[in-house]
Structure 1
């Protein structure tokens, strides 16, 4: 009887344990920042990305692996912990396309997009990502010139590294996606080389500055010359129009004189002679001799002011008498 009680008690305990196991392993929760993979007898069966309370079959039939949805950062060539930065120059030393040595480190931002592939297709996906990052940056730097790597070509190098790294990760099928690639430092390996390159860079900047100033002066001179040309053309057009109008006026005058000449040729001829003499000899007194030796004054014989001065002189002389 005692043995039956003992076995009964053991059964109750086992049953209670199984019941508790079923109760506590038949549900799970997923946060907003998480994604879950349900594994049935060691094989991935379902990916859960929605947050909330979820049900599953009890352990050991099913279990859940939770992974973060956040964006991770891979630091290549250095480590930063607690505000301190530790560099690894041997990892970052690489050769450019024009056979110069540079040190390049960068940050890769990545996310887990396929939990099944991340957990089952590679033993260490982060190590694969690190090696693929090293291969990508060395490949792109190896096909770039040192000037591009150190100055204005960094953005293009970042884009090319991201493109190559993304293609490698997609090919490896390890459930990751590359979000961004940022070059942190690209520099020369020692101080003497850095100083020499700085001098070369300064000289190039000076050259560009002088060239820009020369182009600015050239454009200014071209604009001034264009302005002068336009002014000359404008004045010439104005003079041309004035001469055309003057010629039209002269033609009208000539036509009028010709009409008068046709009606009375002798009078018109004498008038033209006298007017010409007045224009040629503007201050002279003109006398016309008649056939008997006398003279006849042609009016106006004197300027108007001289004609007015004669009566005034006569009045003064008369008053004196």
Structure 2
């Protein structure tokens, strides 16, 4: 009896040590900065731990810990495998052309509980959803857009469609970015033909741009000439209006003089007109009353009066010259 009792005691001690060891080993865990932990209590997600460091929990099998990456992950869709095959990325565009498309999806686990329990293989679902989204968008796009300027729009559409699909599947994954890396044609002949078409289109656009540039240049020059002509016409218009106003003012002044002295004004206007018409001729005022012709030589009198004035001016200039010469001589003699 003592041996049996001692055996049970020994077994109990062994079990106690095993239990203590199990409790000691499974009651704590560590979380790295790049990870997040999910506490599972009796098979049910209970809590998500994101703080790095040492943490404690109930021992196994009461609670268990599942660690998931918190950093951004990358899914490559369509790149060549080991054998160089790209059959999975062959798809048809909206205008019935075959292309190969390579896509990179950046994603992240944002809800660990759903990632663990809402799907058996969330990454496979993500891959299939990516394939479906890309094929759907490429299938509704033209080949020109897929190969040239429409890549950014295709990327945005694929991201929106993929996000909607993952929201419906509810597997705890969020899409951060979608990058359409490469879109290729199936063979070299098709690529050469498409390159030729693209070059022709670029040449056409270049010629159109040059023509538009020349048109804009000529239009600007024509607008400048038009503005110059209009400005010149406006200036001539203003000048003629001012000249007409001046003529009207002169006429009104002469008319007032004419009303007060019509005969004198008439004769003065006649003389002024003759001087304008015949500027080099001598004008005489004559009176033809009687038999003898009498006239008043105004021009001769004016010339005779001008001669003494000129002689006096010349004498005065000569006098000033002599005085200046005398002063210069006096200064030299004093030295």
1:221-300 mapped onto 2 (5 Å cutoff): 221-291=218-288, 292-294=291-293, 296-297=295-296, 299-300=298-299
Measured after TM superposition, the shift of residue 302 of structure 1 is 11
1:220 aligned to which of 202, 217, 223: 217
CA contact (8 A) 1:78 1:86 kept: no
Q: Which residue of 2 aligns with 1:23?
A: 24
Q: How does 1:158-197 map to 2 (within 5 A)?
A: 158-197=155-194
Counterpart position of 2:15: 14
Aligned to 1:42: 43
**Does the 8 Å contact 2:284/2:298 carry over to 1?**
no
Q: Tell me whether 1:144 sits opposite 2:145 in the alignment.
A: no
Separation (CA, whole Å) in 2 of partners of 1:20 and 1:52: 22
Residues of 2 paired with 1:122 and 1:136: CA distance?
19
Question: TM-score normalised to the size of structure 2?
Answer: 0.85
SS in structure 1 opposite 2:178? Answer: strand
Q: What per-residue deviation string (whole Å, max 9, x for no partner) do you get for residues 138-157 of structure 1?
A: 00000000110000000000
| Structure 1: gaps (5+ residues) | 313-321
Runs of 4+ in 1 over 6 A off after TM superposition: 301-304
Match in the other structure for 1:318: none
- Per the TM alignment, residue 5 of structure 1 is displaced from its structure 2 partner at its CA by 2.9
Deviation, structure 1 residue 282: 2.2
Change (3 A) 1:177 1:88: farther
How many residues get paired?
306
Question: Separation in 2 of the partners of 1:302 and 1:87?
Answer: 122
Alignment partner, residue 319 of structure 1: none
Distance 1:98 1:44, change over 3 A: same
Q: Which segment drifts farther, 250-259 or 143-152? A: 250-259
Give the structure with higher Rg (CA): 2
Contact 2:80-2:86 at 8 Å conserved across structures: no
Report deviation, 1:241.
Answer: 1.4
What CA deviation, in whole Å up to 9, does each residue of 1:100-149 have, x standing for no partner? 11111110110111111111111111111111111110000000001100
RMSD: 2.4
Listed as ranges, the gaps of 5+ residues in structure 2 are: 312-335
User: Conserved in 1, the CA contact under 8 Å of 2:119 and 2:171?
Assistant: yes
Would the alpha carbon gap of residues 301 and 68 (structure 1) be closer, same or farther in structure 2, given more than 3 Å must change? Answer: farther
